[in-house]
Structure 1
Amino acid sequence: MSPTILRLQAKTFNMTKAFPFYFFRWMHDHYAKLPLHSHDFIELVFVWNGSATHIFNSRQFGRLEYKIYPGDIFIISPGEEHTYHLDPGEKVEIINMLFYPEMLESSLLFESYQAERELMDFLYVQPFLQKEARFSSILKLDAIAAEEVMTLVAKIEKEYTAQQKGYQSLVKLLLTELVLRLGRFYSERPRLISERLLVVQGGTKDKLNRVLGYMEHHYNTDFSVEQLAEMASCSERQFARLFKQATGTTVINYLHNLRIKRAQKMLSRTNEKIAAIGMEVGFHDISFFNRIFKRIVGMSPKEYQAGLSRGGELEGRTAD
């Protein structure tokens, strides 16, 4: 029997659309069991003190386990299941920063120099790497880098806790600086030859990884093929060809699948109205949402929701 998965949502932590961010320190020992859980936001984890075993359920690789120590930093993407195990006598102090990508300045990917775009790869590319590349690329900071990061984290904690005038803007700026500095450390670490997205094969440019990671995190926002091509540093025509070569489909179809997959999860976990779910995953027109959902899943959102409420087995397809 599969273990029950705790599904955490932004509202659990009182995160709002205006300020989708939450900061907390987490102390854990062998006696306090943390259930396997997932969430609909990004989690940036910084191991402050102690050690533990991070248990991670990957859809691609199954159950993975690895030790974490002070100075380790890693990203947990929305929908990924994980927890921690501690042996008798073992303790760990972890800093968690929970946020949506909207907390970061998107112009760093669309309007900046190539070198600055690469600094965002720790956030957008690292979570989607092959098994051996992803878990060898967990940032393990040396003493100087760790002190630099700890100083920034302390500033974020101070602003978030005090909540003085302007704190939300300052937290956004400090979080963006933190991600950029982590991106610098990430880009300077030794890299594996096999380091690429699962979906990208052969000679497809590494820059496409950044686009795919961006789409995974920003599926519910409006962006153009032109903007994605700019992010990949190529023409629209070349980008469209590379994208289809890598994914087997067009940009629009890929985006629709991401949105419908998210809508299926929301239909199974919330009581929100279908129109509200369609809007939340990025569709501005309910009729269009219904049409795309039926084309991909094989039934309408209403039929899908009705099947879930009956507790029966759904015959509809799952978005890829």
Structure 2
Amino acid sequence: MSTIDQSNSTESADVDFDPNFPIDGANPYHQPDTQITQLHIHSYFEIGYCFEGSGIFVVENKIFPFKAGDISIINSKEMHLAKSSKGTTSLWRFLSLKPDVLLQGVDLPESFYGSNLCGPQFANILHGVDHPTIEKLLLNILQEIDEQKDFYKVSIVGLLFPLFAELQRFNSSMKSDNTEIDPISFKQVMPALDYLAANFDKNFEIDELANISHLSPSHFRRLFKKATNLSPQEYLIQLRVKMAASMLKNTDKKVTTISQEVGFASISSLNRNFKRIMKLTPKDWKSN
């Protein structure tokens, strides 16, 4: 049995903002397939746009495949990480900001600034093709940051109001879900979640994952279920299927190759679990 060394700390990522205009999005970010191995959280709101590549976003207990043209929505309450498809690097631009400061002076409910854009039912990855208004507003803001023409700050603030209005409309359109996770349990099993997200193509014994979280196997199983509403094995299958879904849409690799690269023992295992989770066969998913 292999020995796994995993830190129990949570990385906190922060940006050195201009206190009078707290927004940043100047630099593109190349997301490799292995760099981020720990769920992290930050003190600001973040909206990302994927220009190239594919992979998965893990947000708390949620797993989303992403591809070029997708938009990520992450507020300051949710731990998350991203991982590109195996052997690839994706290209992102992340708009980091403090909307409550940028949009101050207008009588708006506190939730307008994005504090409610989170939780088990919130979809943190949007497809730009399905949300063209959000996509256009985000890209226009990034363009204003790049060009910095006269009055660009005024223009950015003017674009943020409709952007957050559209995000709130999107949130209101989603079906409510009474499912909740236990934040205390989540924190206790987070080292195992980190490791699974970074190494989902490998197989593990429950004892190994429990050891990472410094828990007994039986206690680990109970807390993992409370934290994610899934068993450790089902969570691992979900990771593999979501990465396979991303690779099917965005690479030319054969299904057999993808099945091996994400960790399934056989193509039949991928097909069975893929159809159960994604409601389509891998072939139909790729063609659709």
Q: Distance between the aligned counterparts of 1:88 and 1:95, measured in 2?
A: 20
Tell me the secondary structure at the aligned position of residue 107 of structure 1. coil
Which residue does the alignment assign to 1:182? 167
Alignment deviations for residues 297-319 of structure 1 (CA, whole Å, 9 cap, x no partner): xxxxxxxxxxxxxxxxxxxxxxx
Q: Distance between the aligned counterparts of 2:102 and 2:77, measured in 1?
A: 19
Alignment deviations for residues 53-94 of structure 1 (CA, whole Å, 9 cap, x no partner): 2233x4xxxx55432234443432326432222232344232
Matched, 1:97 2:95: yes
Which residue does the alignment assign to 1:151? 136
Tell me, yes or no, if the aligned pair for 1:125 and 1:197 is still in contact at 8 Å. Answer: no
Which residue does the alignment assign to 1:221? none
| 1:215-226 to 2 correspondences below 5 Å | none
Alignment deviations for residues 242-294 of structure 1 (CA, whole Å, 9 cap, x no partner): xxxxxxxxxxxxxxxxxxxxxxxxxxxxxxxxxxxxxxxxxxxxxxxxxxxxx
Which residue does the alignment assign to 1:125? 116
| 1:190-269 to 2 correspondences below 5 Å | 190-194=174-178
Taking only the aligned residue pairs, the percentage that are identical comes to 17
Q: Quote how far apart the aligned CAs of 1:191 are.
A: 0.9
Q: Distance between the aligned counterparts of 1:107 and 1:81, measured in 2?
A: 29
Tell me the secondary structure at the aligned position of residue 108 of structure 2. helix
**Relative to structure 1, is the Cα distance of residues 30 and 197 closer, same or farther in structure 2, using a 3 angstrom cutoff?**
closer
Tell me the secondary structure at the aligned position of residue 156 of structure 2. helix
2:74 to 73, 76, 79: 76
Which residue does the alignment assign to 1:9? 14
Aligned length: 175
What is the TM-score normalised by the length of structure 2?
0.50
Please tell me the root mean square deviation across aligned C-alpha atoms, in Å. Answer: 3.3
Tell me, yes or no, if the aligned pair for 2:53 and 2:84 is still in contact at 8 Å. Answer: no
Which residue does the alignment assign to 2:48? 45
Which residue does the alignment assign to 1:172? 157
Alignment deviations for residues 182-217 of structure 1 (CA, whole Å, 9 cap, x no partner): 3233333x4134278999xxxxxxxxxxxxxxxxxx
Tell me, yes or no, if the aligned pair for 1:10 and 1:20 is still in contact at 8 Å. Answer: no
Alignment deviations for residues 206-234 of structure 1 (CA, whole Å, 9 cap, x no partner): xxxxxxxxxxxxxxxxxxxxxxxxxxxxx
Q: Quote how far apart the aligned CAs of 1:40 are.
A: 1.9
- Quick one: which amino acid aligns to residue 7 of structure 2? S
Greater mean alpha carbon deviation, residues 89-98 or residues 19-28: 89-98
Which residue does the alignment assign to 2:198? none
Q: Distance between the aligned counterparts of 1:52 and 1:170, measured in 2?
A: 33
2:57 to 45, 54, 57: 54
Bigger relative CO (Cα 8 Å, ≥ 6 apart)? 2
Which residue does the alignment assign to 1:22? 24
**Relative to structure 1, is the Cα distance of residues 139 and 89 closer, same or farther in structure 2, using a 3 angstrom cutoff?**
closer
Q: Which runs of 4+ in 1 moved over 4 A?
A: 195-199
Q: Quote how far apart the aligned CAs of 1:98 are.
A: 0.5
What is the TM-score normalised by the length of structure 1?
0.46
Q: Quote how far apart the aligned CAs of 1:175 are.
A: 1.9
Q: Distance between the aligned counterparts of 1:45 and 1:178, measured in 2?
A: 13
Tell me, yes or no, if the aligned pair for 1:45 and 1:94 is still in contact at 8 Å. Answer: yes
2:64 to 51, 66, 71: 66
Q: Quote how far apart the aligned CAs of 1:17 are.
A: 1.3
Q: Quote how far apart the aligned CAs of 1:108 are.
A: 5.1
Tell me the secondary structure at the aligned position of residue 98 of structure 1. strand
